[in-house]
A and B are shown apart, each in its own frame.
Chain A
């Protein structure tokens, strides 16, 4: 079945460092891909998405490119801030409309940014 694999955390970086969180997927068909972020004590928020191959999603300085040839959707940011400390989830949705757009999540990667 469909699955998502993320790099394990926690990841600890200094402020202004470059961030990469790896995400690879297995899916039949042509899934849409997402990054969600969860700040401490909160629910998940959509960070960015890409719906077809070679699309680049971007938001708040974060970027991810949908790479069909490598089945990857790595999250990157050029200069992280302390406020970026959170748990990041990669997810895919390949379900047809009558299945309610079910999301399949990776296990999450905790990011901690130190001043």
Chain B
């Protein structure tokens, strides 16, 4: 199993550009989540999904969209990038209620 994969590893955007961060898992997990990691703030939940076709907002959803058309994939879309979205983004998945498996992260810089 590859586990949770994320692409790209690094990305630089200009303010106002849009892009999609990809996340896929091959463990047949129903739960998937997106977090952002900022210095001194731990990880904060952006959006999550409890199954295909079901998504909901987390703590910091503004400026991001998600969809879950399949169990395996959970892409995160930045609609109009802003410097405040410079961060490291982690995707995670889990089968049960609690233990989450994390991807390697995408480091995004918005100039």
Measured CB to CB, the residues of A under 8 A from B are: 4, 32, 34, 36, 41-46, 49, 51, 89, 93, 95, 97-103, 105-108
Contacts and interface: CB of A to CB of B under 8 A. Distances in A.
Interface of B: 4, 31-33, 35, 40-45, 48-50, 56, 58, 90, 92, 94, 96-105
B45 A102 contact: yes
A112 B102 CA distance: 23
Contact of B97 (A4, A43, A89, A97): A97
A93 B97 contact: yes
Nearest to A32: B98
Contacts of B43: 44, 89, 103, 105
Nearest to A45: B102
A69 to B, nearest CB: 22
A88 to B, nearest CB: 11
Contacts of B102: 36, 43-45
A46 B94 CA distance: 12
Contacts of B104: 41-43
